[in-house]
Amino acid sequence: MAKAGKELIKRLTAPEIRDIVREEISAAVRPLEVKIEEMDRRITGEITSLRRELQYAPKVAVLEAKVSELEKKITV
């Protein structure tokens, strides 16, 4: 009888314990999700910025070469 009582108590409390653990884990995970979303936005912004810079890199290289040429002509 005592064994059946213990089993009954275990079955009744197990779902409650699982719910409490689930709530605690959710509460701990929420701040992490916010931080991950924030980092994702920052990384996306950095990638966009780098793509813009790379887009103009060839043009800048050509302009630097022209400036270099002009500087050589001036010094001669």
Instruction: Write the pLDDT tens digit of every residue in 28-72.
Output: 999 999 999 999 999 999 999 999 888 888 899 999 999 999 999
With helix as H, strand as E and coil as C, how does 10-28 read? HHHHHHHHHHHHHHHHHHH
**Does the global pTM surpass 0.85?**
no
pLDDT class of 1 with cuts at 50, 70, 90: low
What's the CA gap between 38 and 75, in Å, rounded?
A: 52
- Indicate the domain borders of the chain: 1-76
